[in-house]
């Protein structure tokens, strides 16, 4: 999919990444990009755009050119992340319709540390 296949829209949690065309299930959607940093740099830097590759490495996805950084958390996601070597790819878990937000589950540790204290605002959890 090309960069023109996505649009950013306002959500309850800030900005979210939406598809402008239907994405079939089981398709590679987008790569999470940025410099690869060590776990030591990751721990020093902190921040919400650090995507762990493994216990030694992470991708610093804070650059705005990394539009995958706008993929929000959902407790019932329509996509998921896969680590392939030192790259992270987002794949659709099911068909994602045009105009639908792309979401992944950020994982237990991130959710417990950053999302639960404020309350999850994903579609599944937020009734408002």
Assigned domain for 21 exists: yes
pLDDT (tens digit per residue) in 2-21: 567 999 999 988 899 999 99
Assigned domain for 56 exists: no
Predicted local confidence at residue 128, as pLDDT: 47
C-alpha dihedral sign at 91, 66, 109, 88: positive
**Does pTM surpass 0.85?**
yes
CB contact at 8 A, 95 and 26: no
Question: Residue 87 pairs with which residues in a beta bridge?
Answer: 84
pLDDT (tens digit per residue) in 17-43: 999 999 999 999 999 999 999 999 998
Domain count, the chain: 1
CATH assignment of the domain containing 21:
2.170.270.10
Q: In whole angstroms, how large is the CA radius of gyration of the chain?
A: 14
Q: CA torsion 32→34→40→45, rounded to 10°?
A: -100
């Amino acid at each position: 999919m090309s960069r023109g296949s996505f649009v950013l829209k306002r959500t309850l949690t800030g900005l979210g990444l939406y598809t402008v065309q239907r994405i079939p299930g089981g398709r590679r959607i987008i790569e999470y990009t940025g410099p690869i940093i060590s776990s030591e740099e990751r721990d020093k830097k902190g921040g919400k755009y650090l995507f762990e590759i493994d216990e030694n490495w992470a991708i610093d996805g804070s650059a705005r050119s990394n539009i995958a950084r706008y993929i929000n958390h959902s407790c019932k996601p329509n996509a998921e992340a896969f680590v392939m070597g030192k790259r992270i790819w987002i794949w659709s878990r099911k068909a994602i319709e045009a105009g639908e937000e792309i979401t992944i589950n950020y994982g237990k540790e991130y959710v417990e540390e950053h999302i639960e204290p404020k309350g999850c605002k994903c579609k599944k959890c937020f009734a408002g």
